[in-house]
Amino acid sequence: MARVVLVHGIGQQYEGPELLSLRLGTALRDGVRLAAGIRLAPDDVVCAFYGNVFVESGTRSDELPPWDEHDVEEGLEADLLDAWRQQAAAIDDEVPPAEEEDTRGAVAFGASRLLLSQRVRAALDALSGARFFKPVTERMLIGELKQVRRYLDEPPVWQAARAAVAAEISADTRVMVAHSLGSVVAYEALCEHPEWPVTDLVTVGSPLGLPVIFRRLSPLPAQGCGVWPGSVVRWTNIADPGDIVALVNTLEPHFAPGPAGAVADRTITNGVQMHDLQRYLTAPKSASAIAAGLQE
């Protein structure tokens, strides 16, 4: 059975566990071999696939709904979009910062909805010029916001996603590698199952420290401190400073320490593909952290 379980991020609903294991498993094995000289077999790595939970039953169309600024919901979706815009403006000269808005006084529901749509439209327009989001269409961006919101807010979605992770855990599993939204899924699944044999968690491009995500974690943080994830002994967090999804790229201040100490935060550079999972997996710092969990 697999020694390493890989948990993917958002936007993978048209993939599958074998396809992702073939592509991403190869990248992970290459990284570990080059960084530590460990030759993993193909069946040492498996991908926990949950992307299908975001696809309507019986459909596989890649045609996204005609979403626009009116379809972004107030709360988590709008707040996450604002956070992405703020970070993009901070690191990319092509992205204008948000203007201060005067929201004093009572606002009727219709006017409030209009203000929200205007705010969303401004954020979408601003992000269209960001290097990070250039390969992403507006519909795809809104779809990713909705996937994050659905995982955090809809019990059938998070239950199915965590079950997909649980299905890949065996007595041989020692390392869990989790990307983007997958780091939230993995963290919550590990907290839910302290009996698992997983000793090492490696998160890459993770939004776990982002306030809009952090305060919704399960279990809930207490007094601003998140709980340590289950059976994990070592937790390494890897982030590219230009990765807008990993807005808060140091997790150590936000989570209680574990058996071997606090979260070990590491920084790498993925070039123009800041959030790309394959680049994270082949990076020496990521691969070394994975290898550490395989050498005991």
Query: SS3 string of the chain?
Result: CCCEEEECCCCCCCCCHHHHHHHHHHHHHHHHHHHHCCCCCHHHEEEECCHHHHCCCCCCCCCCCCCCHHHCCCCHHHHHHHHHHHHHHHHCCCCCCCCCCCCCCCCCHHHHHHHHHHHHHHHHHHHCCCCCCCCCCHHHHHHHHHHHHHHHHCHHHHHHHHHHHHCCCCCCCCEEEEECHHHHHHHHHHHHCCCCCCCEEEEECCCCCCHHHHCCCCCCCECCEECCCCCCCEEEEEECCCCCCCCCCCCHHHECCECCECCEEEECCCCCCCCCHHHHHHCHHHHHHHHHHHCC
pTM for this predicted structure: 0.91
- What's the sign of the alpha-carbon dihedral 220, 224, 229, 235? positive
- CA-to-CA distance for 153 and 23, rounded, in angstroms? 30
pLDDT at 221 (0 to 100):
97
- Percent of the chain exceeding pLDDT 90 equals 66
Q: What is the mean pLDDT of residues 20-35?
A: 96
Give the bridge partners for 87, in sequence order.
Answer: none
Q: Band of the pLDDT at 91, cuts 50, 70, 90?
A: confident
Residue 106 has pLDDT above 60, yes or no: no
Q: What is the mean pLDDT of residues 260-284?
A: 94
Q: Band of the pLDDT at 58, cuts 50, 70, 90?
A: low
pLDDT at 162 (0 to 100):
98
Asked which of 8-12, 40-44, 190-194, 262-266 is least confident by mean pLDDT, the reply is: 8-12
- Map tokens 């201060």 to a residue: 100
Distance of CA 27 to CAs 38, 40, 285, Å?
Answer: 13, 11, 14
- Map tokens 């005067």 to a residue: 102
Residue 103 has pLDDT above 60, yes or no: no
Under 8 Å between Cβ of 90 and 201: no
pLDDT at 57 (0 to 100):
61
- CA-to-CA distance for 68 and 251, rounded, in angstroms? 33
Residue 62 has pLDDT above 60, yes or no: no
Beta strands at 4-7 and 200-204: parallel, antiparallel or unpaired: unpaired
Backbone angles phi, psi at 233, to 5 degrees: -95, -45
Q: What is the mean pLDDT of residues 123-131?
A: 83
Q: What is the mean pLDDT of residues 163-183?
A: 97
